[in-house]
């Protein structure tokens, strides 16, 4: 295949996190993987060795990549083999994300995120507060938990 040339005047990225990458140039094969165990906890305490994920199907199961079995006859003509961008500005790359200036043969990216929230038990004061406020507040906000369960997932 005839590759085109990529030209970026300037690239500015604030943060590159959690298995993400920024590439300038061509790539043959790239397979970023990220496994995230995210815990949102009201109580400010962390034991250090918490968070075992052995046996969790989310981190074991095969992810849904489609098989590349389709027969495609592809013809590409590049009368002007240049891809030109003046400025690229990105605030953040996160969880196995890729920013590339250049050409790429194959990219296979996987990410798995498990999100756990640990909130205080419902209380009588919480129920009164929820009734007054209408219960429309987001998780993680200060104040007592909504009575009758978790306000983020409506779990009783």
Partner 1 sequence: MSVNMHVVNEGTQVGMIKIYGVGGSSVAIVGDAEVISLSSAFDTPPESCLTGPFQLLPPEP
Q: Please, what is the minimum distance in Å from the beta carbon of residue 132 to partner 1?
A: 20
Pick the closer one to partner 1 by CB: 97 or 130: 97
Q: Residue 72's Cα: distance from chain center in Å?
A: 31
The footprint of partner 1 on this chain (CB under 8 A) covers a number of residues equal to: 84
Burial of 96 (0-12, 13-18, 19+ CB in 10 A): buried
Asked whether position 123 contacts partner 1 by CB under 8 A, the answer is no
Q: How far apart are CA 139 and CA 126, in angstroms?
A: 14
**Given 72, 124, 132, 138, the residue binding partner 1 (CB under 8 A):** 72
Pick the closer one to partner 1 by CB: 101 or 135: 101
Asked whether position 128 contacts partner 1 by CB under 8 A, the answer is no
**Given 60, 69, 114, 130, the residue binding partner 1 (CB under 8 A):** 114
Residues 8-37, mask of contacts with partner 1 (x by CB under 8 A): x-----------x-----x-----x-x---
Q: What contacts 24+ positions apart, CB below 8 Å, involve 50-59?
A: 53/114, 56/114, 58/112, 58/114, 59/35, 59/112, 59/114
Asked whether position 86 contacts partner 1 by CB under 8 A, the answer is yes
The answer to whether 6 and 101 are in contact (CB under 8 A) is yes
Pick the closer one to partner 1 by CB: 65 or 142: 65
Q: How far apart are CA 140 and CA 119, in angstroms?
A: 9
Asked whether position 101 contacts partner 1 by CB under 8 A, the answer is yes
Pick the closer one to partner 1 by CB: 3 or 128: 3
- Cα–Cα nearest to 133, from 141, 44, 76: 141
């Amino acid at each position: 295949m005839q590759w085109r040339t990529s030209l970026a005047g300037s690239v500015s990225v604030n943060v590159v996190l959690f298995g993400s990458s920024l590439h300038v140039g061509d790539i043959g094969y790239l397979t970023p993987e990220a496994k995230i165990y995210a815990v949102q906890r009201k109580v400010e305490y962390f034991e250090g060795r918490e968070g075992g994920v052995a046996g969790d199907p989310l981190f074991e199961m095969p992810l849904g990549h489609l098989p590349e079995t389709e027969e495609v006859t592809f013809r590409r003509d590049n009368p002007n083999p240049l891809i030109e961008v003046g400025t690229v500005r990105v605030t953040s790359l996160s969880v196995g994300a890729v920013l590339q200036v250049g050409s790429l043969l194959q990219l296979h990216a996987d990410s798995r995120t498990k999100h756990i929230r640990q909130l205080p038990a419902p209380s009588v004061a919480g129920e009164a507060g929820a009734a007054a406020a209408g219960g429309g507040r987001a998780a993680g906000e200060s104040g007592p938990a909504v009575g009758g369960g978790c306000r983020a997932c409506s779990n009783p």
